C-alpha cells in the first residue's frame, strides 16, 4: 500500500494484491473480499469526515 498526498487534505491510496495463481485470485474474488474492501474504504471515509 502506498499513500500519496494530493494536497487540499486529499490522499491517494494505492493497494496492490499479488496472487501466485489465477485460482488464488478467483478464490479471493468469489469470497466477497473485494466488496468488503470497498465497504471498508467507505467506512474509513466516514470516520475521517467525522474527525474534521
Q: How far apart are CA 52 and CA 46, in angstroms?
A: 10
Q: Let me know: does 28 contact 34? Beta carbons within 8 Å.
A: yes
pLDDT digits (tens, 9 = 90+) for 4-37: 999 998 899 999 999 999 999 999 999 988 899 9
Q: How confident is the model at residue 43 (pLDDT cuts 50, 70, 90)?
A: very high
Q: How confident is the model at residue 52 (pLDDT cuts 50, 70, 90)?
A: confident
Quote the pLDDT of residue 20: 97
Task: Quote the distance between the C-alpha of residue 48 and its chain's center.
Answer: 15
Question: What DSSP element (H or E) covers 5?
Answer: strand 2-7
Tell me the average pLDDT across 36-48.
92
The DSSP 8-state label assigned to residue 19 in this structure reads -
Q: How far apart are CA 28 and CA 23, in angstroms?
A: 9
Q: How far apart are CA 7 and CA 15, in angstroms?
A: 20
pTM as predicted: 0.64
Amino acid at each position: 500500500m502506498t499513500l500519496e498526498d494530493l494536497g487540499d487534505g486529499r490522499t491517494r491510496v494505492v493497494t496492490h494484491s499479488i496472487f501466485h495463481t489465477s485460482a488464488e485470485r478467483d478464490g479471493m474474488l468469489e469470497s466477497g473480499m473485494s466488496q468488503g474492501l470497498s465497504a471498508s474504504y467507505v467506512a474509513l471515509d466516514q470516520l475521517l469526515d467525522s474527525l474534521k
